Amino acid sequence: MTNRSPATSSAGFLARHPALELVGEAGDGSEAVRVIDTANPDLLLLDIQMPELDGFEVLAAVSQEPLPYVIFVTAFDHYAVQAFERGALDYLLKPVAPDRFDLAIERARHQLSSGRAQDLAERLDRALEQSASRPRLERFLVKEGDRSRLVPLQEIEWIEAAGNYLKLHGKDAVHLVRGTLKLVETRLDPARFARIHRTVIVNLDRIRYLEPWSHGDQLVVLESGARLTLSRRFRDRMPGTLGEQP
């Protein structure tokens, strides 16, 4: 699968590799999610900067399990590219050179045929920890039956870690998306969201009040009535005086 961006000429490059079958193309992030979930490709050429959702948000939203082998296509500068290298992620730098494209395809075919492709989620974690080039997160793409919907952050009361996934708790629904709490925390506005526990990030605007608890912890009571623990380990991450109560 490729992005339809003419800057990469991916479809033309793929014609040089007759063993590969082009199963789909997409012009923006939301369309990419739909195409990936329909085609279930083994190999994905994924532009990082796209309308609606960036490449990483696309991977968080797709249902395919496990994720396909991904070759990122990027116009990022040298320092951002270093993050991909440290994360052992393959990438193509725009404008894409034909010989570099061929090398990436051959590497992907070797990894897929040998069964030695590393876990993509772990590699993404390592790369994203090194990269500060992504904008603030403003919404999640979530599945609702056969449809997908963009959920603005203000609709989310709290975010809970669930292995390699996140549970997005709204007032009336819980959505499951791919991702880790550590990485999503780096993209949230700290004036609006704070990590209050090893497994929980809370929307500060949805806090009704705090109650004393035991061993220096506190209970955070949300507008929905949900009761969460503010661990004293994370109290200094709360803005202003909110985390300074005894």
Say yes or no: domain 139-237 is CATH 1.10.3210.10: no
Query: What does the pLDDT read at residue 6?
Result: 38
Our CA dihedral for 44, 47, 53, 57, rounded to 10 degrees, sits at 50
* DSSP string for the chain: -EE--TTT-HHHHHTT-TT-----EESSHHHHHHHHHHH--SEEEEESS-SSS-HHHHHHH---SSPPEEEEEE---HHHHHHHHHTT-EEEESSPPHHHHHHHHHHHHHHHHHT-PPPHHHHHHHHHHH---SPPP-EEEEEETTEEEEEEGGGEEEEEEETTEEEEEESS-EEEEE--HHHHHHHS-TTTEEEEETTEEEEGGGEEEEEE-STT-EEEEETTS-EEEE-GGGGGGS-TTTT---
Dihedral sign from CA coordinates of 113, 59, 177, 137: positive
**The pTM is what?**
0.64
Q: How far is CA 244 from the centre of its chain?
A: 32
- 2-130 falls under which CATH superfamily? Response regulator (3.40.50.2300)
Distance CA 143, CA 155 (A): 15
Query: What does the pLDDT read at residue 77?
Result: 63
Residue 207 near residue 158 (C-beta atoms within 8 A):
no
Per-residue pLDDT of the chain (246 residues; tens, 9 = 90+): 545 443 345 667 888 888 888 899 998 988 999 999 899 999 999 888 888 888 878 887 887 777 888 888 888 666 466 667 656 678 888 888 899 999 999 988 888 887 655 566 677 766 666 555 566 888 898 888 778 888 999 999 999 999 878 999 997 899 998 888 887 888 899 889 999 999 999 999 999 999 888 777 899 999 999 999 999 888 877 765 454 544
Q: Where do you find CATH 3.40.50.2300 in the chain?
A: 2-130
Query: What does the pLDDT read at residue 155?
Result: 94
Q: Where do you find CATH 2.40.50.1020 in the chain?
A: 139-237
Residue 157 near residue 222 (C-beta atoms within 8 A):
yes
